Amino acid sequence: MGVEGIGARALRKEDKRFITGKGRYTDDIVLPRMGYAAFVRSPHAHAKVVSIDARAALEMPGVDAVLTGDQLVADGIGNIICGWMIHSKDGSPMNMGAWRALEPEIVRHVGQAVAVVIADSQGEAKDAADAVVVEYEELPAVVDPIAAMADGAPQLHPEAANNLIFDWDIGDEAAVNAAFEQAAHVTKMEVHNNRLVPNAMEPRAAVADYNEAEEHHTLYTTSQNPHVARLVLSAFYNIAPEHKLRVIAPDVGGGFGSKIYIYPEEMVCLWASKRVGRPVKWVCDRTEAFLTDAHGRDHRSEAELALDADNKIIAFRVKTVANLGAYMSLFSSSVPTYLYATLLSGQYDIPAIHCNVKTVYTNTTPVDAYRGAGRPEATYLVERIMETAAREVGLSPADFRRKNFIRSFPHQTPVIMCYDAGDYDATLDAALKAIDYDGFAARKAEAASRGKLRGIGMSCYIEACGIAPSAAVGSLGAGVGLWESAEVRVNPVGTIEVLTGAHSHGQGHETTFAQLISERFGLDTDAVSIVHGDTDKVQFGMGTYGSRSGAVGMSAVVKALDKVEEKAKKIAAHLMEAAEGDIQIEGGELKVAGTDKKLTFTEVALAAYTAHNLPEGMEPGLKEGAFYDPTNFTFPSGTYICEVEVDPETGKTAIISFVAADDFGNIINPMIVEGQVHGGLTQGIGQALLENAAYDENGQLITASYMDYCMPRADDVPSYQLSTHVTECPGNPLGMKGCGEAGAIGSPPAVINAITDAINNNDLTMPATPEQVWQLCQGSMKMAAE
């Protein structure tokens, strides 16, 4: 592959196995004597479990066991917990209801598991699961979060009166109220953020293998963070102590947040493997994924923006109700609070912000972080109200934003965040130029001549990645630290293994992490392997989510590399009888500056391991580890502009062009960064135009397959035009910010602003289906006629 350092468009090292069908995903793993698990799931959204009769199922061919929640509880398996404590504004802790991996008493959403069948084949397990007779006593269900808070609504958990989990505040309410008194103009709107299903293409899967003699469990699973899974399974769910539990996340087919959490099924496989004395495999089918993978978004908000006479924002007030579903998933409480309300300042200098968030239980699938996690909800709200306010006061959307941009850094917002660096004018200018904003009026007129409605909309997003530092998130309620670890092992022949706690499930770490080593030592990237995803190999790590692997994970590698370099230089200096300060590393060699004396990296590595001639007192070997805890979040930002054409006859929206101008700080591999943006934009456009997890009033998910849940396909999206602008992040050694989620965060408001511009009607909610757009077009035409 050659020497490919920072900034190179290096082709991916991992691709060969994926394009030849040699990837190794969890479902590809087969162990001797393996049994298959199939779950018995509730068809009701809310019901008492009266009885479970497994007699017929147990008689069926190949069936080994049917296990229920009573047995699970009796075996001491712990309840599933939310790992981030949020306190309500009155100081009381959040009201967390009990969640068991198999529910023995009351089911609270359709698809919740009450029993599991273990059989010799997947087909036999599924047949037997159908034959388990469960008697339910149906209870009234509630799916709407506002209705759930009303007196007399069905109650999900005894711990949470009126289904309220917490009632939380951020910002200075009095200051906001005072500013509103002074406002020259107030823009007010209601904004819904639709519920989504993450839909990684690889469904979740688990293979659990219990070794009785060693009292040791191995779990192969589709996880973004195997170490966190092991910690939680050990410390809270009582599966086994950490040294008796190995978690391996092999190739994982996409995550987008949904594979962060420890779900009932993986726990049950571990427990069942011990119970039945054989390895147990479970593979989720797509319908099960729709019913049980943590969903995303689902916010209802009211927002008010106060402007002074000069159209400067003086205050922002938001009230949000977040639907968390039937149970509190692992990080569910942090998403609508610290990952959401802290971003409500957007790119703007807003002196006073206040936000109230109520989180609510409903009889729906649990909701947690999905690509962007809180920041898309904040961005959608901020960027829709910015566009709306600009229209109301008669300023161009770009001018109104520019008037309010933050331009000096660091900038302390009124909602915790301190932005470290950015240049919002630069990305706005780049995007306006790329889309030829000035030429829009002519394009609109041309479209009108064909009977089509053209619209243009923008979104100037900011987001926060690499959530940290650990002490700060701890003080805000996080149950874990958010650092990352790395170990750099130089082998005696000079090849290198990098062990990281980050996990790649599409991000290309095997390539980008190797580029760091290539850059530092001038080695071929083929001389480097990345080791990740196995708790037996990598000591500890926090995994990959929140666009943290670059800013946090790679920074840990850099720290370890510093130590390796220092030791290698000491050895080289000693061997060449030179001063340590005169040693330079270049092209895979350690040279004495100003002389022709040099040693290859391999010679130095070998010397470290033969240890025949090392500096006095130096330990043999060349291997160093590091833990890196950042000092702040990073703040990627940018401008997205979308141009659409709506057909008023059909309500169908076509995206004509979409430009993205992003500031991700320094970039290791532009090719991979572009791929991340393409994917993120497509998910955001999916949210804006197509995707919606819809329930009927009885709590049945009516979009539980690809027939009803509309995934973005190749002909739903355009080719995107991307550019990047760099302001270095001062908070980490590589100056990186993160790029994994920006596309999904910034794009929905750009699309919706474009459509509302086209149809001249602002009452649009996501997804902007042709039916809804057509209705609004009819309304606008009627209004125009009157």
Give the footprint of another protein on this chain (CB under 8 A).
11-12, 14-25, 27-28, 30, 121, 123, 199-203, 251-254, 256, 283, 285-287, 505-508, 671-672, 674-675, 677-683, 705-707, 711, 713-715, 717, 719-720, 743
Alpha carbon distance 179, 23 (integer Å): 58
Q: What angle do CA 716, 717, 723 make, to 5 degrees?
A: 175
Q: Which does 252 bind (CB under 5 to 8 A by kind): another protein, ligand FES, none?
A: another protein
* Binding region for ligand FES (CB under 6 A): 201, 253-254, 506
Q: Residue 15 binds which one of another protein, ligand FES, none, with CB within 5 to 8 A depending on kind?
A: another protein
Q: What is the DSSP string of 730-753?
A: TTSTT-B---SSHHHHHHHHHHHH
Query: Which of 30, 785 has the CB closer to another protein?
Result: 30
- Whether cis (ω within 30° of 0) applies to the bond prior to 733 is no
Closest contact distance (angstroms) between CB of 584 and another protein is: 34
| 320 interacts with, out of another protein, ligand FES, none, CB within 5 to 8 A per kind | none
* Cα–Cα dist 197/26, whole Å: 21
Q: HSE (CB half, 13 Å, CA atoms) of 69?
A: 23
Give the SS3 label for residue 297: strand
Q: Decide whether 19 or 393 has the Cβ nearer to another protein.
A: 19
Nearest position to ligand FES, beta carbon: 201
Q: State the nearest-atom distance from the C-beta of 313 to another protein, in Å.
A: 33
Q: To the nearest whole angstrom, how small is the minimum distance from the Cβ of residue 766 to another protein?
A: 18
For ligand FES, the closer of residues 707 and 785 by Cβ is 707
Residue 95 or 199: the one with the smaller Cβ distance to another protein is 199
Choose the contact partner of 672 out of another protein, ligand FES, none; CB within 5 to 8 A by kind.
another protein
Give the nearest distance from C-beta 672 to ligand FES in angstroms. Answer: 12
Q: In terms of Cα–Cα distance, which of 69, 110, 125, 91 is closest to 280?
A: 125
Of 203 and 541, nearer to ligand FES (C-beta) is 203
Cα diameter, the chain: 94
Nearest distance in Å: CB 168, ligand FES: 35
d(CA 279, CA 265): 14
Instruction: Work out how close the CB of 524 gets to another protein at its nearest, in angstroms, rounded to a whole number.
Output: 18
Query: What φ, ψ does residue 222 adopt, rounded to 5°?
Result: -85, 75
Q: How far is the CB of 201 from ligand FES (least distance, A)?
A: 4
CA distance 27 to 197: 21
Cα torsion 501, 503, 509, 510: sign: positive
3-state DSSP call for residue 26? helix
Report the SS3 class of residue 143: coil
- Residue 151, binding choice from ligand FES, another protein, none, Cβ under 5 to 8 Å by partner class: none
Find which of another protein, ligand FES, none residue 408 binds, CB within 5 to 8 Å per kind.
none
CA 212 to each of CA 71, 274, 746: distance values in angstroms, whole numbers, following the listed order: 19, 8, 51
Q: What are the structure tokens assigned to 539, written together?
A: 């000591």
d(CA 78, CA 76): 6
Residue 196 vs 231, nearer CB to ligand FES: 196
Amino acid identity, residue 406? I
Q: With the C-alpha atoms ordered 393, 395, 396, 401, is the resulting torsion angle positive or negative?
A: negative
C-beta of 672 vs 752, nearer to another protein: 672
Closer Cβ to ligand FES, 234 or 676, answer by number: 676
Question: By three-state DSSP, how is residue 696 classified?
Answer: coil
18, β-bridge pairs: none
**What minimum distance in Å lies between the beta carbon of 666 and another protein?**
19
Name which of ligand FES, another protein, none residue 150 binds, using a CB cut-off of 5 to 8 Å depending on partner kind.
none
SS3 96: coil
Closer by beta carbon to ligand FES, 171 or else 253: 253
Shortest reach from residue 705's CB to ligand FES, in Å: 10
Query: Which lies closer to another protein via its Cβ, residue 24 or residue 433?
Result: 24
Partner in contact with 781, chosen from ligand FES, another protein, none, beta carbon below 5 to 8 Å by kind: none
Contact 279, 35 (CB under 8 A): yes
What is the nearest approach in angstroms of another protein to the Cβ of residue 523? 22
Distance between CA atoms of residues 355 and 169, nearest Å: 6
Q: Which does 416 bind (CB under 5 to 8 A by kind): another protein, ligand FES, none?
A: none
DSSP 8-class letter at 549: I
Least distance CB 687 / another protein (angstroms): 13
Binding partner of residue 505 among ligand FES, another protein, none, CB under 5 to 8 Å per kind?
A: another protein
201 versus 707: smaller Cβ distance to ligand FES: 201
At closest approach, how far in Å is the CB of 1 from ligand FES? 21
Distance between CA atoms of residues 26 and 253, nearest Å: 9
The answer to whether 549 touches 507, Cβ cutoff 8 Å, is yes
Smaller CB separation from another protein, 17 or 192 = 17
